[in-house]
A and B are shown apart, each in its own frame.
Chain A
Amino acid sequence: GNSVTQMEGPVTLSEEAFLTINCTYTATGYPSLFWYVQYPGEGLQLLLKATKADDKGSNKGFEATYRKETTSFHLEKGSVQVSDSAVYFCALQTGANNLFFGTGTRLTVIP
């Protein structure tokens, strides 16, 4: 079956620290992988995506590389800001537009 496993939160970092949020997946076929972000009180927004192995998605300083050999799609950012505080969701998509989400990781960045 299809599933996504994310590292448990919450994660608290100081401003300008390095961020890694781990994500691994199990899927049939060749899924697309996504990171969505949910800022406080808002809906989900697509942060970045990768549609095939070795693709790197990037946006707003965040990056994630589709690693088929380790079935991973870890999210990284070199220097977080207070405005990055949010809940981050890893997700995979198979055919028929089915999106499977991880449990979400809450990030809090303190000044």
Chain B
Amino acid sequence: DTAVSQTPKYLVTQMGNDKSIKCEQNLGHDTMYWYKQDSKKFLKIMFSYNNKELIINETVPNRFSPKSPDKAHLNLHINSLELGDSAVYFCASSSLTGYNEQFFGPGTRLTVL
């Protein structure tokens, strides 16, 4: 029973394309996140969603847009992909209240050619 799942695991695409990465959590959490991990393993938060409301929006390009159809899903849409978007993208979830552990998905490795 996977707690936080992401699809696809690998994504290879051409510059200029539009792609989506899906994330689902079955933990009943009310907050979900997207992180980007670059080639040097540096992790930076991109977005978080709580009850369909964006509560963190770091300085990411507006080509990236999170979409949450319901509390269990937070998908990441990327338009007009660029070489610099190549990275591993991690989804995570947690409870809103208190300092609760964030549970991470296995990651999606995006390669833009």
Binding site for B on A (CB under 8 A): 32, 34, 36, 38, 42-46, 49, 51, 87, 89, 93, 96-99, 101, 103-104, 106
Contact = CB atoms under 8 A, between A and B. Distances in A.
A43 B107 contact: yes
Contacts, number: 50
A40 B41 CA distance: 12
Contact of A46 (B31, B40, B101): B101
A49 B101 contact: yes
Contact of B42 (A93, A96, A104): A104
Interface of B: 4, 31, 33, 40-45, 48, 55-56, 90, 92, 94, 96, 99-107
B107 A97 contact: no
B42 A97 contact: no
A99 B102 contact: yes
17 contacts: A38-B41, A42-B106, A43-B90, A43-B105, A43-B107, A44-B90, A44-B92, A44-B104, A46-B101, A49-B99, A49-B101, A93-B99, A96-B55, A97-B96, A101-B43, A103-B40, A104-B42
